[in-house]
């Protein structure tokens, strides 16, 4: 027995695993992508399980980042690597905490405008990183 089989909630037809285009809308901006899910060939109903919803959440974050002028997961990763920082170091120096960059780069968490702005500035002038390190050290000593 296939426990992953879904029956259509409307008409009881066995649903089929497929990729179909969906369009997300945010502040009047649209993003269309292929979303995996269980689809009913009879009425077009769809059911989305955990990882489908995660994919959908990531695409929504991508649309929000694009619409609001925040950095994309790929840009964040590229800038962090250019700065020679591990994900944990970036979370410590730039902000967000040790696990933040892992989530930004996976697309699971939208960066704040402050994080996005700081990275944009550091990308333009990587020397700014030394200022952050110095500040960090000074704060470390003071506490
Ligand atoms: Zn149906």
pLDDT tens digits, 59-93: 999 999 999 999 999 999 999 999 999 999 999 99
Q: What is the pLDDT of residue 3?
A: 58
| Closest alpha carbon to 58 in 66, 114, 82 | 66
Tokens 């899910």, located at residue: 37
| 32-44 mean pLDDT | 96
CB burial class (10 A; 0-12, 13-18, 19+) of residue 72?
middle
Give me ligand 1 centre to Cα 37, in Å: 14
For 47, phi then psi, to 5°, come to -125, 130
Residues 6 or more apart in contact with residue 5 via CB below 8 angstroms: 14, 15
Instruction: Give phi and psi for 117, each to the nearest 5.
Output: -65, -45
Q: Which domains does the chain have, with CATH numbers?
A: 16-68 (3.10.20.860), 73-142 (1.10.260.40)
* Å from CA of 91 to ligand 1 middle: 46
- Other beta carbons within 10 angstroms of residue 14's beta carbon come to 13
Distance 43 CA to ligand 1 centre (A): 4
Query: How far does residue 8's CA lie from ligand 1's centre (Å)?
Result: 5
Ligand 1: centre distance to CA 9 (Å): 7
Task: Tell me the pLDDT tens digit for each residue of 99-130.
Answer: 999 999 999 999 999 999 999 999 999 999 99
Separation of alpha carbons 78 and 39, rounded Å: 37
Neighbours of 65 (CB within 10 A): 21
């Amino acid at each position: 027995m296939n426990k992953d089989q879904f029956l259509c909630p409307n008409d009881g037809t066995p649903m089929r695993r497929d990729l179909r285009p969906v369009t997300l809308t945010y502040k009047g901006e649209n993003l269309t992508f292929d979303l995996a899910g269980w689809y009913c060939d009879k009425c077009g109903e769809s059911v989305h399980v955990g990882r489908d919803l995660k994919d959908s959440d990531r695409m929504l974050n991508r649309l929000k980042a694009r619409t609001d002028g925040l950095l994309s997961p790929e840009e964040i990763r590229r800038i962090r690597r250019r700065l020679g920082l591990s994900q944990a170091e970036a979370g410590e120096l730039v902000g967000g905490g040790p696990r933040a960059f892992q989530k930004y780069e996976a697309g699971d968490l939208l960066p704040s405008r402050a994080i996005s702005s700081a990275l944009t500035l550091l990308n333009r002038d990587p020397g700014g990183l030394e200022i952050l390190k110095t500040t960090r050290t000074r704060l470390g000593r003071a506490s």
